[in-house]
Structure 1
Amino acid sequence: MTVIESPTLASIDLDARYALACKIAKEAGERAVQMFRNRAALEVEHKGLQDVVSIADREVEGIVRKYVNEAFPDDAFLGEESAGGVSDALLGERVIWVVDPIDGTSCFLNGMYAWCVSIGILVDGEPAVGAVFDPNSGELFHAARGHGAFVDAVPLNANPARAVRDGVLGVGFSHRVKPEAFVPFLDRLLRDGGMFIRNGSGALMMAYVAAGRLIGYYEPHINSWDCLAGIVLVREAGGTVNDFFANDGLLRGNPIMAAGQALYPVLTTLVDGPAAQG
C-alpha cells in the first residue's frame, strides 16, 4: 500500500510508521487511563495560565518516545513536555513525530473525559500520519495521507454543512491570544445562528470534525502537537484546513481553522470579519 505518492518518500516506510503510531496511541492511552483513575495521587505543576502538567503527561510521553526511538532511531521527535529544549535544527529533519501525550490535561486532572493521546508525523514538512486515541470511549481516529481517515475501521467524512446554523462548531482559546482578538468571531458566529462547544482538547475536536460530529473547528493560536494529527484526519476525511505550518507553525504555533469544504469559506469570513468577503 502506498499512502503518499511522492518520489521523495521512496526511502520512507510510511506504512510501518502509520501502524506504529496507531499501536503506540492505544498503548499510551491505556496507561494514561490507569493514571486517570488514580489522578488524586498525581503530582501536578502549573506552567502558566491554563497550562498544567502532571507526572502522567511525562510518563506517557516517555512511553511514546521509547517506542519511536526503538523502531525508528533516525526519526526526530517533538513532544509537548520536551518542546522547551528543541532548536530550529529540528526543521531540517525528514521525519518528525509530533506528540501530545495527554491533550486536555486540565480535563484529565479534574475528572472530565475530554482528553486524548495525539500522535502526528511530518514527512518532508508535510502532515503525513495522524492517530488520536480517546481511551475513555475506546475510539481510535487515524489517517495517513492518500489513504483516508477512519475511526477504528469505519471511514470518516467531514460534515457537508454549508452554514454555521447547520451544526455545532468547535472552538478553542488560550491566553496566548488577547480576548478582544477572539470575541468578535464569537459575536459573528452567534449572530449568524451558530452554536459552539469548547471541550478542552483541540486534538479531540479536530478528530470530531473529521468524523462529521462537529462542522468545523477554530482556535486563534494552537501548538503543533495539539493539531498535527487532526490536520491529517480532517484532510483525509475530505475537509479543508488552513496552512498551519506557515511562518514556523511547527515550533511556534499558529491559528487553526478546519471545516468541510462547503463551510470553510463561511468560517473564513467569520474569523476575518466582513473584510474577508472582499
Structure 2
Amino acid sequence: MTSQELDARFAAAKAIAQEAGAMALDYFNRRETLTIETKHDLQDVVSIADRNTEKLIRRRVEAAFPQDGCLGEEFGHVAGTSGYTWIVDPIDGTAPFVNGMPNWCVSVAVAHAGKPVIGIIAAPCHGELYAAAAGRGAELDGKALKLDSSRTVQNGLTGIGANSHVTPDSVGKMVSELLRMEGNFIRNGSGALMLAYVAAGRLVGYYEPYMHAWDCFAGFCLVQEAGGWYHDFPIEGARLTEGAPVVAAAPGARHALERLAGLA
C-alpha cells in the first residue's frame, strides 16, 4: 500500500459518501413513496433507497478503481485484484430511516490486507461527515478528532446494539452488566453511526454481539485514528461475509468494554 494509492482512495471515498448521502437523503425526504420489504425478519427491512444508493457507490468505485474489490450489504462481494476492497453499507439504520428518524448513515470503508484503512460515515440528516485514513487521523467536518482518556463507562454513555442473531436473554444480560458497572447505555438503530460517535467522543464505547463487516469497518478506522481501540474483526476468506462481535472503545473504557463483551 503506497501513500498515493491511499490518498487517492481517501479523497474518492469522501466524495462518494457525500454523493450517496445526498441520494439517500432525497429518498428519506420522500420516504412515504417507498415500498418497504423485509429480509430475514420483520425488523430487517430494505427499500429501493438502499439498493439504488449502493448501486451508485459501486458505479463510482468501479469507474475510479476498476481493479478494487467491493463488498456491500445489498449486492454482496465482487473480488478485485488490487488488494483493496471497498466495504459499504448504503443505509445503515434502515429501520430508523423508513420510520422517519434521523439516526441513519452511509458507511464507506476501504480495507487492505484485511484491515480497515479508510473509513467514511456520512450522516446526512445531521449534515455531518466523519472521515479517517490510516496514519492520517480522524476528523468530523474537517475538525480533528482525538479521544479523551479520562472518559470512562462510569462518566460517559455506551452504545449497544442487538438484532435477531442475538437472544433476548443475552441482550438483557448485556444491559444488566453495564448497569452494574455504573454505566448507562443508548441504542439509536445504527451501529455504524454509534461507532462514529465513539470516535467523536460522544460515546465511550460500543458493543454489539453480531454485526457484518459493512456495518463496522468504516467506524473501526475512525475509532482507531481518533486514538481508540477495537476488537479484531477477521474478514479473510469465507469470513468476509460472516458476522462477528463488534467492540470499540475510548482508551479509558477499553477494559470495561472487554469485560462487557466477555473478552476479559
TM-score tier after normalising by the smaller chain length = over 0.9
What does residue 178 of structure 1 align with? 167
The aligned residue for residue 101 of structure 2 is 112
Q: State the partner residue of 1:19.
A: 11
Contact kept, 8 Å, 1:115 with 1:200, in 2: the verdict is yes
User: Are 1:159 and 1:209, in contact at CA under 8 Å, matched by a contact in 2?
Assistant: no
Of 17, 28, 32, the residue aligned with 1:36 is 28
Q: How far did residue 59 of structure 1 move?
A: 0.7
The offset of 1:125, in angstroms, is 1.6
| Match in the other structure for 1:211 | 200
Aligned partner of 2:74 in structure 1 is 81
Q: Where does residue 256 of structure 1 map in the other structure?
A: 246
Conservation of the 8 A alpha-carbon contact between 1:159 and 1:214 = no
Alignment map for 1:128-143 (pairs within 5 Å): 128-143=117-132
1:55 alignment partner, one of 41, 48, 56: 48
User: Once the 2 structures are TM-superposed, how far is the Cα of residue 271 of structure 1 from its aligned partner?
Assistant: 2.4
Name the CA shift for 1:34/1:162 in 2 (closer, same or farther; >3 Å): closer
1:187, 1:229 → 2: CA distance? 29
- 8 Å CA contact 1:25–1:132 kept in 2: the answer is yes
How far did residue 251 of structure 1 move? Answer: 1.3
Moved more, 98-107 or 157-166: 157-166
Deviation at residue 179 of structure 1 after TM alignment:
2.2
CA distance in 2, matches of 1:98, 1:233: 14
Q: Helix, strand or coil: the match of 1:13? A: helix
The match for 1:237 is 226
* Counterpart-to-counterpart distance in 2, 1:260 and 1:79: 28
Counterpart Cα distance in 2 of 1:16 and 1:91: 17
Amino acid at match of 1:262: G
Tell me, yes or no, if the aligned pair for 1:188 and 1:270 is still in contact at 8 Å.
Answer: yes
After TM superposition, the runs of 4+ consecutive aligned structure 1 residues lying more than 3 A away are 90-93, 246-249
> Aligned partners of 1:185 and 1:266: how far apart in 2?
12
Aligned to 1:226: 215
The corresponding residue for 2:64 is 71
**Inter-partner Cα distance in structure 1 for 2:172 and 2:127:** 34
Give secondary structure in 1 for the equivalent of 2:85: strand
What is the DSSP-based 3-state SS (H/G/I as helix, E as strand, rest coil) of the residue aligned with 1:131?
strand
The one-letter amino acid of 1:22's match is: K
Cα deviation for residue 101 of structure 1 reads 0.4
Deviation at 1:71? 0.4
Q: CA–CA distance in 1 between the matches of 2:81 and 2:239? A: 14
Aligned-partner residue type, residue 41 of structure 1? T
In structure 2, do the counterparts of structure 1 residues 223 and 149 end up closer, same or farther at CA, with 3 Å as the change threshold? same
Q: Secondary structure at the match of 1:19?
A: helix
Distance 1:160 1:216 in 2: 12
The 5-angstrom pairing of residues 142-181 of structure 1 reads 142-161=131-150, 163-181=152-170
CA distance in structure 2 between the aligned counterparts of 1:161 and 1:188, rounded to whole angstroms: 21
Aligned to 2:255, what secondary structure does the other structure show? helix
| Equivalent in the alignment of 2:114 | 125
Greater Cα offset, 198-207 or 163-172: 163-172
Alignment coverage as a number of residue pairs: 262
Q: Which runs of 5+ in 1 are unaligned?
A: 1-8
SS of structure 2 residue aligned to 1:214: coil
Aligned equivalents of 2:14 and 2:92: distance in 1?
A: 16
Structure 2 distance, partners of 1:13, 1:271, is 36
Per-residue deviation, 1:91: 9.1
Q: Residue 270 of structure 1 aligns with which residue?
A: 260
Report if aligned partners of 1:96, 1:121 keep a CA contact under 8 Å in 2: yes
After TM superposition, the score normalised by the length of structure 1 is 0.89
Deviation of 1:26 after TM superposition, in Å, equals 0.6
Q: CA RMSD in A?
A: 1.8
Q: Secondary structure at 2:55's aligned position in 1?
A: helix
- Look up the equivalent residue of 1:258 and give its one-letter code: A
